[in-house]
Amino acid sequence: MICHGAWCWYKIKCLMETSGYKVTCLDLKSAGLDHSNPNEISTFDEYNTPLVILVGHSAGGLSLTDAIYIFPNKIHLAVYVAATMLKDGFFTDEDFRDGDPDLSEYGDISEFESGMGVDQPPTSFIIRKEFQRDVLYQMSPKEDSTLASMLLRPAPIRALKPQFVGESCAHDTVPRVYIKTLQDHVLKPVQQEAMIRRWQPFKVKMSGVRLAKQQFVLVHGYGHGAWCWYKGTRLLKSCGIDRADPNTIASFDEYNAPLVDFFSNLPENDKVVLVSHSAGGLSLTDVTYRFRSKIHLAIYVAAIMLEHGLATDQDFKDAMPDLSDISEVEYGLGPDQPPTSSIVMEEFRRETLYKMSPPEDCTLASMLMPPAPSRAITQFAGGKDVDLILILTLASMLLRPAPIRSLKPKFVGESYAHDTVPCVYIKTLLDHVLKPVQQEAMIRRRQPFKVKFEGVKMSGVRLAKQHFVLVHGASHGAWCWYKVRCLLETSGHKVSCLDLKGCGIDRADPNTIASFDEYNAPLVDFFSNLPENEKVVLVGHSAGGLSLTDVTYRFPSKIHLAIYVAATMLEHGFATDQDFKDALPDLSEYGDITEAEYGLGPDQPPTSNIIKKEFCREIFYNMSPPEDCTLALMLMRPSPTRVITQFAGGKDVDVVPRVYIRTLNDHILKQAQQEAMIKRWQPSQVFVLESDHSPFFSTPSLLFNYLVKAAESIQ
């Protein structure tokens, strides 16, 4: 697609490689990480030089058609995904009408560059950032829209209206499939239909079909009742206005009987969308094992999401809130027996359960909450087919004393279809019941294919809005912050992410960078242009810590706080042997894992290096989602290592407050190294993350939480 690069396929590439397929994603000329200047590309042949590929999106369809002409015997199948599919390219007015996007309804939304002079036609263009989400990504996750805005590059206009000349019969020797996108704002459905009609593929598939209206079944959580949904459908035993005494509920099956009865009486051909909150997630898991053919979708709101229930100590650690100090318990079997139900004391409910809820809803809850039969909830045991249902998950939890005996179930069942359907987890970031660290633990264990962060503003981040400047580490670029940037921007903060010289989509060759000052120039330029009365929260990851220290020397009055995330934190840079010992990664245990480049000649020291791809997951992303690892492998570039170690600090750096965020499962910057740097140059605060070296991928919501908490702590 125009303005995009190979990176836009990262999720598809991850899914296909996980399924055992070989996948090649290429950057066309001046796209993605290709360093060419789009204003210098004048022909389609030059633009399309790198391509022999099967699947094309948007303007990438032109590249597919070109490849079909040139290599018809080498292409098994050509798949056009919402793509320009013109047999002969742009020859006629009809070709332009059918294949050229008409975005005039949005007004003036493009930025043009005139590489041949202002009196010549423009040579490249890009859609302005403020229109990109509505035009290109209106149904895409916010974090992907954020990622795209950080990686999009201008497209070479002159090269993108090719006319194909060749044997037309060669086209039809290659089978073609067209995938239509029904909610497309760029290539309208009527245009896609016209191209399909004029050059008929052998198959057409549709993406973006809206679901028919569904029946929703809403299941409450611990201590609550159907009333918490206002229009709820189900009551569990002894909850809400159900008359059963929670202290008499002896098993999870008895507790969950109303929901099981509902599904037993549901017609065989009916499917429902099943929604639960808090401990109600256990009820969902129970019925998804029993009645999976009757459930279209399971949505976990306040998420106990455990594959096998509360079967191990780890399950209890990950999913059970510790509210023992603020709960009242009842002993229905006698004072010498374990408690049978529990409830949060009334004076703690607002702060614990409803901190951000309207007062009238808190009052309503206090009037309706019964104890919950907690003994029964712990007894649930389920199977392993639940992943046949697409799972979404939010987070928060509790209310009526709960039947303790029934609320700690263990799932036992057949395992033959596990993880055949992707799982999505939606997190609430400042939950006082199910802590973010617990949510992160369950996410790591179940490995959902997507994590969403909804309602960040509603989660309680009420500090004054800050301007965060995020600086990447070696081999990375601004792109690595896309999840954290999305969270911060959704919360109303201003965010700037910079590519240092030779990194990300910066066009410089890292082998030509001769000094640390040159490498760090983009960050220095940013601060030079920052208004005198503006202060930012500066965040650096890994080797980006050196860039932080550099600008804190130069611009202390413009920095509110410096946050080092698993970062090199040396007061004077690499000045002594101890500095190298404490801050330079020692990866010798992995063997020969780096590839070096010798930009000054083979008899000179290397000018850049990069970790070999086959080692990156283990070293950088050992706890990160597979698709983020795939994305990184497509975007990482050699790092100009010879200049990074040249940094030498100045004076008065301690004018700027510092915070360090440690990463406990880091395979790059070992614990001893992080501790040594903290000890030698003590920051004002230290936070600890259960993450790998890349918390922006593995624990983005916790990292977000710590960033805003640290910023709030500095007055």
Give the three-state DSSP class for 326. Answer: helix
Rg (CA), the chain: 28
Q: What angle do CA 373, 375, 378 make, to 5 degrees?
A: 110
Burial (CB count within 10 angstroms: exposed 0-12, middle 13-18, buried 19+), residue 25: middle
Q: What is the C-alpha to C-alpha distance for residues 263 and 282, in angstroms, rounded to an integer?
A: 16
Residue 81 and residue 179 in contact, taking contact as beta carbons nearer than 8 Å: yes
- Catalytic annotation on 693? yes
- Identify the active-site residue in 666, 667, 691, 694: 666
Instruction: Name, in order, each residue with C-beta under 8 angstroms of 48's C-beta and a sequence gap of 6 or more.
Output: 28, 29, 62, 63, 66, 67, 159
CB crowding 598-623: b at 16 or more within 10 Å, else e: ebeeeeeebbbbbbeeebbbebbbbb
| Residue of 298, 140, 160, 307 whose CA lies nearest to 218 | 298
Let me know how long the chain is. 715
Q: Which CB contacts under 8 angstroms, 24+ apart, belong to 523-531? A: 523/469, 523/471, 523/498, 523/547, 523/550, 523/551, 524/550, 524/551, 524/554, 526/469, 526/496, 526/498, 527/551, 527/554, 527/555, 527/558, 528/555, 530/555, 530/558
**Which tokens sit at 154?**
């201008």
- Identify the active-site residue in 63, 693, 698, 701: 693
Residue 411 and residue 311 in contact, taking contact as beta carbons nearer than 8 Å: yes
- Identify the active-site residue in 542, 608, 624, 691: 542
- Catalytic annotation on 666? yes
* Number of CB atoms found within 10 A of residue 255's CB: 34
Angle between helices 10-18 and 626-635 (to 10 degrees): 120
Residue with tokens 């005139």: 114
Residue with tokens 């245990």: 589
- Catalytic annotation on 684? no
Q: Which residues are catalytic?
A: 542, 666, 693
